[in-house]
Amino acid sequence: MKNDNMAKEDAKFIRENVKAHNKWFEECIPMIASENLMSPLAKEMLISDFADRYAEGLPGKRYYQGNIYVDKVELKAIELAKKVFDCEFADLRPISGTVANMAVLMAFAKPGDIITTCALDQGAHISTCEFGAFGQRGVNSVNYPWNESNMNLDIDGTIKVLKAAKPKVAQFGLSVFLFPPPLKELQDTFNEIGCLVWEDCAHVLGLIAGKQFQDPLREGVNIVSASTHKTFPGPNHGILLGQNLTEEQEKKLQHAAFPGVTSSHHLHAMAALGITLAEMDVFGKEYAAQACKNSRALGEALYELGVPVLCPDLGFTRSHAIAVDVSQFGGGKQCAQLLEDANIICNKNMLPRDTSSVNPSGLRLGSQEMTRLGMKESEMKEVAELIARVVKKKEDPAKVKEDVKELKKNFATIQYCFNAGEPAYEYHDLVDF
């Protein structure tokens, strides 16, 4: 067995690497579209005693004692979710976006049922694939036709698919979510076939909260599932929202959330989500609007520098993200690694017609985290120049890294929250080895 000193060294190793990560990201430009920064007040919830407790069931109907204050927090968070998203139903118990998706599947789809959805090379999330949550549930996925020129559904083709497949559930939502899906144009078809309409809004949840993308629950969607740490700057957690559901459907969804796909629902994260909902109620519109402005500015600047960005005729994007075709510069895998070497953090990503997720032709870039740190359109132009130097001009990443660090010095504090201006990467030394 290891002695105490060896075990302490192991713990010290982990702690020092976490601290090193914090320091590294303090000097990086983080552009992964599925990440964000919580406010210090929300982070405080993660180290509270809520982190050590259990609460199975609904507030007031728990299977454990000791939830007097947990119930108060959860009820307030549910109230805030209904207010922010203007919805009739909210469940904050899924512990991730994929778990939220699994809850919807468990509630409304049996093995063998048909669900229509987007394909992976169209930007869909992996949970909709055969090797993801959809496959685990055993549903039959039918993909919508895609219009590559506008990175959105082919409306006429989608109507034909829906009428032919007659799905039990029509599902929407993407990981490369550039433009709102044409839900209004499909509403008559949904009504005709009588399907449940579900959208995975993980990537654009914060933009929806800020009234800057679309309002799916007013455009025919019955259920929204999402993670809560992308454009919505909360904890790694999940959420379910509903509109125009019957009482029976709401109960099915609640039962699927617990005991279906969760036991205890990570109470510290639920509390952090509640804080973030309160902050988005105040700051969400301003934040989401700036994130969208920044992504368009980034796309325009890259395009002008000769780096191909999808959908230039449509303004590149209406969300926080842009899709960049770097096939002529070595492909997504190579370019993402070179950018990481320069302290610009993004991810390789499949574009339409790609067949490999390991060696795709694209990059996905998100503006939401740098927006959270106070960057605006002028800084996006600087970021685009740094990216072009690495990707197109093939400058030494080590040289570009120094300029990245210099730019980032001025953007290390949180904005758009109750305690704006506090350090984003502060590490609290709680242990002395």
Region 294-309: mean pLDDT is 98
Q: What tokens appear for 288 in the block?
A: 């989401």
Q: Output the CA–CA distances (angstroms, integers) from residue 279 to 51, 206, 298, 412, 418, in the order listed.
A: 21, 11, 26, 19, 7
Query: Which residue pairs, CB below 8 angstroms and at least 24 apart, start in 393-402?
Result: 394/329, 397/338, 397/339, 397/341, 397/342, 398/341, 398/342, 400/342, 400/344, 401/341, 401/342, 401/343
Residue 372 lies in a domain: no
Structural domain of residue 48, as residue ranges?
43-277
Residue 424 lies in a domain: no
Q: Are 333 and 360 in contact (CB under 8 A)?
A: yes
Asked whether the predicted pLDDT for residue 1 surpasses 60, the reply is no
Could you give the number of structural domains in the chain? 1
Residue 395 lies in a domain: no
Residue 285 lies in a domain: no
Q: How confident is the model at residue 127 (pLDDT cuts 50, 70, 90)?
A: confident
Residue 240 lies in a domain: yes
Residue 175 lies in a domain: yes
Model pLDDT, residue 128: 75
Alpha carbons 127 and 196: distance in angstroms, whole number = 18
Model pLDDT, residue 138: 87
Q: What is the pLDDT of residues 374-427, one digit of tens each?
A: 999 999 999 999 999 999 999 999 999 999 999 999 999 999 999 999 999 987
Domain of 86, CATH number, reads 3.40.640.10
For the chain, how big is the Rg over CA atoms in Å? 22
Q: Output the CA–CA distances (angstroms, integers) from residue 39 to 70, 236, 338, in the order listed.
A: 21, 13, 30
Residue type, 415: Q
Model pLDDT, residue 250: 98
Asked whether the predicted pLDDT for residue 336 surpasses 80, the reply is yes
Q: What is the pLDDT of residues 63-81, one digit of tens each?
A: 999 999 999 999 999 999 9
The CA-CA-CA angle for residues 49, 231, 259, to 5°, reads 50
Residue 366 lies in a domain: no
Model pLDDT, residue 39: 97
